[in-house]
Amino acid sequence: MVHSTGETRQQLPPEEPPGTGAQAHGPVPVGTPAVRPAFDTEHPPSAALIGDCVHCGFCLPTCPTYTLWGEEMDSPRGRIDLMKAGLEGAPLSDTMVQHFDACLGCMACVTACPSGVQYDELIEATRVQVERHHQRPAGQRALRAAIFALFPYKRRLRAMRGPLRAYQASGLSGMLRRSKVLDRLAPTLAAMEALAPPLERREKLPERVPAVGQRRAVVGMLTGCVQGEFFPAVNAATARVLAAEGCDVLIPRRQGCCGALSVHNGRQEEAERFARATVDAFERAGVQTVVVNAAGCGSSMKEYADLLADDPAYAERAARFAASVRDVSELLAELGTVAPRHPVDMTVAYHDACHLAHAQGVRAQPRALLREIPGLQLREIADPEICCGSAGIWNVLNPEPARELGDRKARTIADTGAELLVTANPGCLMQVASSLERQGTRIGLAHTVEVLDASIRGIPVRGLGIQR
Amino acid sequence: MAPTGDTVSLDAARTALSGACDDVREATAADAVDGVPASLVARPASTAEVGEVLRAAAGHELAVVPRGRGTKSTWGRAPERADLVVDLSRMSAVLDHAAGDLVVETQAGALLADVQAVVGTAGQRLALDEPVPGSSIGGTLATNSSGPGRLAVGTARDLLIGVTVVRADGVVARAGGRVVKNVAGYDLGKLVIGSFGTLAVVTEAVFRLHPVAPARQWVTVGVDSAGRAQELAQRVVHSQLVPAAVEVDWPGDGDGGAGSLGVLLEGTPAGVETRTAALTGLLGGGTAAGTAPAGWGRYPWDDDGVTGRATALKATVALSGVAGALDAGRRAATDAGTTLSWRGSAGAGVLYGALPATAGPDAVAAVLGPLRAACAAAGGALVVLDAAPEVEAAVDTWGPVPAIDLMRRVKERFDPERRLAPGRFVGGI
Amino acid sequence: MSVTHGTTTTAGPVPGDTPPEATSATGDAHRHSAGIEAVGRVARAVLPVTGVLSDPTQLRTYECDGLAHYRVTPALVVLPETTEQLAAVVRACAAHGVPFVARGSGTGLSGGALPRADGVLVVTSRMRTIREVRRADQRAVVEPGVINLAVTRAVTGEGYYYAPDPSSQQICSIGGNLAENSGGAHCLKYGFTSNHVLGAELVTPQGDVVALGGLAPDSPGYDLLGTVVGSEGTLGIATTAVVRLVRLPEEVRTLLVGFRSTDDAGAATSAIIGAGIVPAAIEMMDALAIEAAEAAVHCDYPAGAGAVLVIELDGAAVEVEHEYAQVERFCTEHGAFELRPATDAAERALIWKGRKSAFAAVGRISPDYIVQDGVIPRTALPEVLRAIAELSSSSGVRVANVFHAGDGNLHPLVLFDDAQPGAGKAAEQVSGAILDLCINHGGSITGEHGVGVDKAAYMPRMFSDDDLDTMQLVRCAFDPDGISNPGKLFPTPRLCGEVPGKRKHAHPLVEAGLADAF
Ligand SMILES: Cc1cc2nc3c(=O)[nH]c(=O)nc-3n(C[C@H](O)[C@H](O)[C@H](O)COP(=O)(O)OP(=O)(O)OC[C@H]3O[C@@H](n4cnc5c(N)ncnc54)[C@H](O)[C@@H]3O)c2cc1C
Ligand code: SF4
Ligand code: SF4
């Protein structure tokens, strides 16, 4: 009956403890003293945050790896135990790393935790330590290198476009090709390619889109790497919707990757580099608010303050910047909508992107915006808190469980009977699309702003896979 | 066989018992247990005395049969021996009624009716039906008897929250307590319910109580087949009308298929009225009345007109198997040249059947076979609660019992010498 | 494989053939290492590779349940997927005298699933199939690892639900519920797990598979099921449960009521129950508990309340209507300053979220705390609450109160900061004194969390030696070697010994012709 941060609390009757061995005890190092402990002293996962965990298990049912495997060490509670073991001196064994790596970073556990455990901070700190101290097998290292050489760079992504060009991609070394890394990447790239519009249909965005009617705000807009390359229509729709709702939209040309993938994978320095560049780009544009339409990007940009806290030149600016970041649905909800809506007679299932729902707590706003549209019927997907298995690059690194999660999600989506699936993250769209296809469900896919855009303009929704 | 005991040892036992309890007498024919003559009767006045009595009995290796008021002493199999009847009729006090806590504490020899009278003064009731009038608390627990009300409030296992028992070796033990919610320790109460006195003698019991509903209404509708009875019962249990009881009554002497389904609604006067209207709609008719239909809450073998010692059956089934069991029993009875009257909870899947005294061992056996199979197929069981000695001798009273080995082991631990109602219970326990 | 690795307990040397039950509560890692090896071999032969864990890193994550200050690393963890696999492991344990402990979701609050350093932890989290939903029979047949809430979710579409609803229902398992006889807010009207589990398949401590109860009620023979429910895993491992499904009520009204004090709220509760109303739930939270829940889930409870009641009425619409009017009146008469009925499902959910998150939420207002679980007769509520308040003010230890007011099940949360010297000790004293209060008022030391390892030493305060000895007769019948979750529930084990030999000669009275062996 004791919940305690330390492990020395016990509630025993005065006379006699129940059995000699069951008493509380201090930390006992696991492993032989010769072994190097898991973490160094530079920002290890915080003992205080770990101590907030009361071991209630409320986070377990929302954790995708726990629902898949039913194992404690692949649950948030178990991973926190492992971090604690690490702090107490246990070595960073392959097993331990494997369980940290298996975490999707979906942050469903953060939402679920009544005790307010900041698992997001814990796992990020842990990942940095893992990157620093753990040597992965060569194949894995190559795959990770390839991913980080590709995704955060728009130009390289563009070079990958077109099924043939993927294999001739410049900028990737022959070593990578030899290691069959591209074979692992190929399915993902193929999925992206299948969904993306043909190159010639890309809409170019101007640097400034003026507000329609009375100006109510001036906002900067992040275009994102994957979003920008593979889903340019989403960016175009975002700009139009914002303008229609009275925003001057500034789209700095020289923006790069926000660093989301890097920060979620423990690549601290790389992440910091991207973050500084992003802060610079939007500071130059001089906007009060930065609008994002990709959930993963938004969540990492809101955390710049922590990321750059140790950088005296950027700490304060990063904090200011982070406070100015809004998801597009969040901003629209704050502003209140004014542009008239035309009916969209469709049944729509809304899928919560983890980095929007769990990391940013944005759940009600997109639903409210969709409900405002006349004729649109909103359906809820069962187990909305469970990740679809995309999780940044997790599906590339863990294809099998990712497929299983995707298939589960596809089934619950199909159960809604909706004609259109709406979500706010490119990764989710791709992941769910391939599962839906595998299972033979025909359903349209669109980003929230695409539906809003269609409604405002009075045109049919132009999502993906919609029979036009 | 070693010629040890004789009247001398009986005298010695009697002396020892008299030291334990001031009311010990020689048994009469009326004290026989299901045809088995008893030798001695002790009427202890307290739990401590029961302990003393059982210790003395243990010292003299007496087989002990506890008795409340003897209304169901013929149920189960006849004991192998009944040297000593421990009669609890002197322990008939309702010890404490904590009205605010909806709890009553009573001695085991108390009449169920007396308990109801006490708690009734506060508008409360012990939600145990009394199918056999004159039953004591202890006897009700030991036989786990129940009636129509079990549908909504359950049976003794759902109401007993504390129990005091005396073991075969005379040790007094308590389990549970006086609060409704309590998970400290094993629930020994559950173990003694329905144990037919073979594990320990229950001396005191604590029950949770329910408020008496201000209004009751019975709706009865005729059914012409078992299938129809089940269909209507299903409609009622799947409705949101919150029935307090759903009973089927299907007398064997009626013409072919005529029976009825009776539903009890309890609540506020206005609420019951509205629900009654909804219910008759659901049933496609029916007669509503403020009093119970004839035979309500009585076992069919106790009905007027039943003469001699009928064979009493208890059939349990999953709800979807109600019609199957009713029909299987009926058909088998017809084939065996006899009749079977059914009555019981179609909403809970507990049905009581009566075969007339005229049905001899062969006829009863011919009914048991197919009926037992039907009950088993419906996830339940069939037991012969009571029967004439010649029938009882010829049939398998309890039928197959899945966890019998474990039950034997429990019995061995509680009563290693097999002195408590030996042979009365399942598997010869 | 090293079974001593990561062992965090020290038990004294144990004489050769004492049963595990008679050793320490947690076992001695050295004693059974050969046995563990043997069980491990069997487990690896019958289970999938991922179903047997012996890596110390992985074992470590199983060292405690929801009562995290008792920690013991198990020697082996198995995750069976079928009854056969589970039974094979238990049989191997029996053959080698290796103790085993069942674990469901590990949310228990009494250390019931605390492993043995010399034993096997049998985890049911991969036995998660709802085998059958039998609507016509109002039953479901489920595997033990099935999450409580999953049963309800599987049947709401058919108009049914599973009634016992512990606050942990989103994650606790049916097997764990069965073992603890778990209750919930709604057990005031609908009863506990024991009223809703009608059948089970049990793997006995010998590894035999037996059926107890079933789809139909009143199965012949002793009600072993009734004894197994609530036995905290000491009589074997349940591998299937047949549970009752309850029809969703036509109407549900949830009402949040703000009072100035717990006295007022308690008086309102008494008035409601006294009027013969049986609400589906009446839950009370005091100011401190409200503060915690507010911090955790922003449940928006009435500001400035000294206590709130969450009252739920359900049943036939006409009846609920009537009761609701009465409840409103009783609350107002007893000083309620705000009555807030939920107007839709979302509001109802938010009201309950505040209540159901309360335990874990206390972590937001206090670095450390003890969750107590005691029961008193409901009428003693005002007196006991005042006594707790006095205890709190005289010791300076803050106590937040959350409880099932309808049935007198208290959950005082004793707050402290372990960083302050002596604070832990003081909190323990207060917590223990609260249990004494419960016992002195004729109550119980646990209403739903179980005895486990945590309260075993308190059992003698509630029960005599003879009571405990009699309970252990059951234990000896099921598990004479004491290998099923040894060290839990009972303060001192009973050495079972052989069953005394049966009488061989005929009874004297029979011989004398005075009685007839029928
Ligand atoms: C925040 C919180 C709130 C809670 N609220 C409530 C509440 O409102 N009401 C309540 O009653 N409890 C409550 N609990 C306690 C706990 O959730 C229950 O006791 C629950 O039943 C435990 O289930 P589990 O699956 O986690 O079991 P575990 O903790 O894994 O095990 C509990 C016990 O059951 C045994 N066991 C597990 N599975 C089996 C099996 N298949 N066969 C035999 N034995 C088995 C274990 O050996 C152990 O003794 C709460 C706990 C927490 C953390
Ligand atoms: S972030 Fe997601 S995958 Fe990782 S532990 Fe939390 S819930 Fe599980
Ligand atoms: S919900 Fe929070 S406190 Fe509970 S186990 Fe998970 S992380 Fe720990």
Do A120 and A260 touch, CB atoms closer than 8 A? Answer: no
DSSP, collapsed to helix, strand or coil, labels residue A120 as helix
| Average pLDDT estimate for A198-226 | 82
- Residue-level pLDDT at C507: 45
Mark whether A and B touch (3+ CB pairs within 8 Å): no
Do A169 and A160 touch, CB atoms closer than 8 A? Answer: yes
Mutation target for C interface from A53, A60, A68, A72: give the one with most C CBs within 10 A. Answer: A72
- Residue-level pLDDT at A190: 62
C113-162 pLDDT, tens per residue?
Answer: 999 999 999 999 999 999 999 999 999 999 999 999 999 999 999 999 99
Q: Given B78, B154, B271, which is nearest C322 (Cβ)?
A: B271
Q: Which residue has the higher pLDDT, C125 or C382?
A: C125
Backbone angles phi, psi at C429, to 5 degrees: -65, -45
DSSP per position, C93-150: HHHHT--EEEESSS--SSSTT---TTSEEEE-TT---EEEEETTTTEEEE-TTSBHHH
Host H or E run for residue C243: strand C237-244
Q: Parse chain A into domains and list their residue ranges.
A: 47-135, 139-195, 208-333, 340-457
Do A156 and A171 touch, CB atoms closer than 8 A? Answer: yes
Q: Would you tell me the crossing angle of helices B404-414 and C465-478 to the nearest 10 degrees?
A: 150
d(CA B15, CA B34) in angstroms, rounded, equals 26
d(CA A92, CA A78) in angstroms, rounded, equals 15
Beta carbons within 8 Å of C406's beta carbon, 6+ residues apart? C188, C269, C273, C279, C281, C282, C283, C378
Tokens representing C318 are 């006409």
Q: Do A72 and C62 touch (CB under 8 A)?
A: yes
- Residue-level pLDDT at A192: 59
DSSP, collapsed to helix, strand or coil, labels residue A314 as coil
Residue A464 has pLDDT above 70, yes or no: no
C-beta of A277 in contact with ligand 3 (< 6 A): no
Beta carbons within 8 Å of A295's beta carbon, 6+ residues apart? A327, A353, A354, A355, A356, A359, A360, A424, A425, A428
| Average pLDDT estimate for C175-197 | 96
> Mean pLDDT across chain A, nearest whole number?
83
A336-373 pLDDT, tens per residue?
Answer: 999 999 999 999 999 999 999 999 999 999 999 999 99
- Residue-level pLDDT at B66: 97
d(CA C123, CA C146) in angstroms, rounded, equals 12
Atom of ligand 1 nearest to the CA of C235: 43
Distance (Å) from CA C450 to ligand 1 centroid: 9
Do C293 and C366 touch, CB atoms closer than 8 A? Answer: no
Task: List all residues of chain A from 53 to 112 with a beta carbon under 8 Å from chain C.
Answer: 54-58, 60-61, 69-73, 75, 77-78, 81-82, 85, 90, 93, 95-96, 99
Q: Given C145, C367, C457, which is nearest A16 (Cβ)?
A: C457
Q: Residue with the nearest Cα to atom 34 of ligand 1?
A: C176
Specify which residues A218 forms β-bridges with: A248
Reported confidence tier of residue A26, pLDDT bands at 50, 70, 90 = very low
In this structure, the number of other CB atoms found within 10 A of the CB of residue B335 comes to: 12
d(CA A136, CA A92) in angstroms, rounded, equals 12
DSSP per position, B148-217: TTHHHH--HHHHEEEEEEEETTS-EEEEE-SSSS--SS--HHHHHTTSTTSSEEEEEEEEE-EEPPSEEE
d(CA C106, CA C89) in angstroms, rounded, equals 20
d(CA B135, CA C278) in angstroms, rounded, equals 28
DSSP, collapsed to helix, strand or coil, labels residue C411 as strand
C-beta of A79 in contact with ligand 2 (< 6 A): yes
| Residue carrying the six token digits 């039943």 | B306
Residue A18 has pLDDT above 70, yes or no: no
A383-395 pLDDT, tens per residue?
Answer: 999 999 988 778 8
From the list C169, C187, C67, C82, the residue with the least C-alpha distance to C124 is: C82
C-beta of C248 in contact with ligand 3 (< 6 A): no
- Position B111, amino acid: L
Residue A197 has pLDDT above 70, yes or no: no
d(CA B35, CA C362) in angstroms, rounded, equals 65
Which residues in chain A are closer than 8 Å to C60, comparing Cβ atoms?
30, 81-82, 85, 90
DSSP, collapsed to helix, strand or coil, labels residue B116 as helix
Q: Parse chain C into domains and list their residue ranges.
A: 20-123, 130-247, 249-365, 372-401+410-462, 465-511
From the list A211, A246, A225, the residue with the least C-alpha distance to A292 is: A225
Residue of B nearest to C443 (CA): B179
Q: What is the ipTM of this complex?
A: 0.96
- Give the CATH class of C249-365: alpha beta
- Residue-level pLDDT at C492: 86
| Average pLDDT estimate for C415-440 | 93
d(CA C7, CA A400) in angstroms, rounded, equals 35
Report the range of poorest mean pLDDT among A114-118, B144-148, B334-338, C502-506. Answer: C502-506
- Give the CATH class of A208-333: alpha beta
> Domain spanning C20-123 has what CATH number?
3.30.43.10
Specify which residues B287 forms β-bridges with: B220
Reported confidence tier of residue B254, pLDDT bands at 50, 70, 90 = low
Which residues in chain C are closer than 8 Å to B181, comparing Cβ atoms?
183, 187, 192, 375, 404, 407-409, 444, 447-448
Its pTM stands at 0.91
- Residue-level pLDDT at A29: 43
B349 touches chain C (CB under 8 A): yes
Distance (Å) from CA A64 to ligand 2 centroid: 7
> Mean pLDDT across chain C, nearest whole number?
90
Which residues in chain C are closer than 8 Å to B159, comparing Cβ atoms?
none
Reported confidence tier of residue A137, pLDDT bands at 50, 70, 90 = confident
Atom of ligand 2 nearest to the CA of A66: 8
| Average pLDDT estimate for A109-120 | 93
| Average pLDDT estimate for A257-284 | 88
Q: Given C79, C360, C431, which is nearest A56 (Cβ)?
A: C360
Q: Given A1, A52, A93, which is nearest C109 (Cβ)?
A: A1
Tokens representing C400 are 């937040």
Which residues in chain C are closer than 8 Å to A5, comparing Cβ atoms?
367-368, 418
Residue C468 has pLDDT above 70, yes or no: yes
Task: Name the CA dihedral angle for A95, A98, A99, A105, rounded to a multiple of 10 degrees.
Answer: 160
DSSP, collapsed to helix, strand or coil, labels residue B26 as strand
| Residue carrying the six token digits 């609390």 | A9
- Residue-level pLDDT at A191: 60
Which residues in chain A are closer than 8 Å to C362, comparing Cβ atoms?
3
Do A274 and A259 touch, CB atoms closer than 8 A? Answer: yes
Q: Do B185 and C471 touch (CB under 8 A)?
A: yes
Choose one of C109, C356, C372, C409 to mutate for the ligand 1 pocket test, by most ligand atoms within 8 angstroms of C-beta.
C109
Do C416 and C366 touch, CB atoms closer than 8 A? Answer: yes
- Residue-level pLDDT at B257: 62
Residue A406 has pLDDT above 50, yes or no: yes
| Residue carrying the six token digits 């992941």 | A431
- Which fold, A47-135? Fumarate Reductase Iron-sulfur Protein; Chain B, domain 2 (1.10.1060)
C-beta of A103 in contact with ligand 2 (< 6 A): yes
C47-86 pLDDT, tens per residue?
Answer: 999 999 999 999 999 999 999 989 999 999 999 999 999 9
Whether A340-457 and A47-135 are alike in CATH topology: the answer is no
C84-113 pLDDT, tens per residue?
Answer: 999 999 999 999 999 999 999 999 999 999
A82-99 pLDDT, tens per residue?
Answer: 999 999 999 999 999 999
Q: Do B270 and C249 touch (CB under 8 A)?
A: no
Reported confidence tier of residue B219, pLDDT bands at 50, 70, 90 = very high
| Average pLDDT estimate for C461-479 | 96
H/E/C letters for each residue in B47-75?
A: HHHHHHHHHHHHHCCCCEEEECCCCCCCC
Which residues in chain B are closer than 8 Å to C224, comparing Cβ atoms?
191, 403, 406-407, 410
Q: What percent of chain C has pLDDT over 90?
A: 80
d(CA A200, CA A22) in angstroms, rounded, equals 70
Q: Which residue has the higher pLDDT, A180 or B190?
A: B190
Q: Do A4 and C68 touch (CB under 8 A)?
A: yes
HSE on the CB side for C479, CA within 13 Å?
Answer: 35
Task: Name the CA dihedral angle for A25, A27, A33, A38, rounded to a multiple of 10 degrees.
Answer: 150
Q: Which residue segments constitute the domains of chain B, with CATH numbers given?
A: 3-89 (3.30.43.10), 94-211 (3.30.465.10), 215-289 (3.30.70.3450), 311-404 (3.30.70)
Q: Which long-range contacts (CB under 8 A, 24 or more apart) does A140-144 make?
A: A140/A397, A142/A175, A142/A176, A142/A179, A142/A181, A143/A179, A143/A181, A143/A184, A143/A185, A143/A396, A143/A397, A144/A265, A144/A397
Do C283 and C405 touch, CB atoms closer than 8 A? Answer: yes
d(CA B252, CA A3) in angstroms, rounded, equals 63
| Average pLDDT estimate for A434-455 | 90
Residue C517 has pLDDT above 80, yes or no: no
H/E/C letters for each residue in C160-171?
A: EECCCCCCCCCC
Q: Residue with the nearest Cα to atom 21 of ligand 1?
A: C177
| Average pLDDT estimate for C411-439 | 93
> Domain spanning C130-247 has what CATH number?
3.30.465.10
Beta-strand (E) ranges in A162-318? 208-209, 217-221, 247-250, 289-292
From the list B421, B407, B423, the residue with the least C-alpha distance to B54 is: B421
d(CA C451, CA C231) in angstroms, rounded, equals 10
Tokens representing B391 are 């029938």
- Which fold, A340-457? Rossmann fold (3.40.50)
Which residues in chain A are closer than 8 Å to C364, comparing Cβ atoms?
115-116
Residue of C nearest to B208 (CA): C407
In this structure, the number of other CB atoms found within 10 A of the CB of residue A121 comes to: 16
d(CA A166, CA A159) in angstroms, rounded, equals 7
Q: Given B79, B234, B410, which is nearest C477 (Cβ)?
A: B410
C-beta of A168 in contact with ligand 3 (< 6 A): no
Do A32 and A71 touch, CB atoms closer than 8 A? Answer: no
Which residues in chain C are closer than 8 Å to A113, comparing Cβ atoms?
360
d(CA C179, CA C112) in angstroms, rounded, equals 9
B285 touches chain C (CB under 8 A): no
From the list C193, C162, C178, C176, the residue with the least C-alpha distance to C109 is: C176
Do B107 and B89 touch, CB atoms closer than 8 A? Answer: no
HSE on the CB side for C86, CA within 13 Å?
Answer: 31
Residue C17 has pLDDT above 60, yes or no: no
DSSP, collapsed to helix, strand or coil, labels residue C400 as strand
Choose one of C167, C188, C402 to mutate for the ligand 1 pocket test, by most ligand atoms within 8 angstroms of C-beta.
C167
Residue A177 has pLDDT above 70, yes or no: no
From the list B316, B104, C280, the residue with the least C-alpha distance to C272 is: C280
d(CA C389, CA C451) in angstroms, rounded, equals 25
How many residue contacts between A and C have a Cβ separation below 8 Å?
A: 221
- Residue-level pLDDT at C444: 97
Do A142 and A179 touch, CB atoms closer than 8 A? Answer: yes
- Residue-level pLDDT at A8: 33
Mark whether C and B touch (3+ CB pairs within 8 Å): yes
C-beta of A77 in contact with ligand 3 (< 6 A): yes
